[in-house]
Amino acid sequence: MGLIRPLPGEFSEGMASYIALAPEGDVLALLKAQAGEIGALFGGLSEAQAAHRYAAGKWSLKDLLQHLSDAERIFAYRCLRIGRGDATPLPGWEEDDYARAAGADEHPIADLLADFQATRRASLELFRSLPAAAWEEKGTSNGRTLSARAIPYVCLGHAAHHLAVIRERYLPGLK
């Protein structure tokens, strides 16, 4: 399929940092490899480790993994709508509200990881299924322009951002 990186004007300033974190290369292959990286990281955690918060009031690792699943689903939905030419403006979402409602700490880490992996596989299948013309479509998300082709890069960069936070702030505190 060979997606090319989105150009300025195809995404908001808020998405620019995620797109910048997406490495060069085949974005779908990179998304698949990243799923393996996430699997290795979270699959090696005990329940106690997965409940770790690096500071009071911060998400646990379970919350963070649930957030990756929630965000990926929302991004994929946006891609579906925009890629199908649906010009209906799409709303934003409040990640902290989702995290509170999800109750991730009540679920086994293995279940949360399986959910993420299923979500990432579904995203990849959606991305692979879109015809070439769909990637040129633009829509409005959270009041800002977003192209379909920006979304796989957003998914990749968003997860990369959180993996960096995990390595920097969470892993040093795990015992």
Q: Does domain 26-173 have CATH number 1.20.120.450?
A: yes
pTM, two decimals, is 0.96
132 contact partners, CB below 8 Å, separation of at least 6: 1
User: pLDDT digits over 61-73, tens only?
Assistant: 999 999 999 999 9
* 3-class DSSP state of 7: coil
Alpha helix positions (H), the chain: 13-21, 27-43, 47-50, 61-83, 95-102, 109-129, 150-165
Neighbours of 141 (CB within 10 A): 24
Structure-model confidence comparison of residues 173 and 29, the more confident one: 29
User: pLDDT digits over 91-147, tens only?
Assistant: 999 999 999 999 999 999 999 999 999 999 999 999 999 999 999 999 999 999 999
From 6, 34, 2, select the one nearest 20 (Cα to Cα).
Answer: 6
Model confidence at 59: pLDDT above 90: yes
Structural domain spans, the chain: 26-173
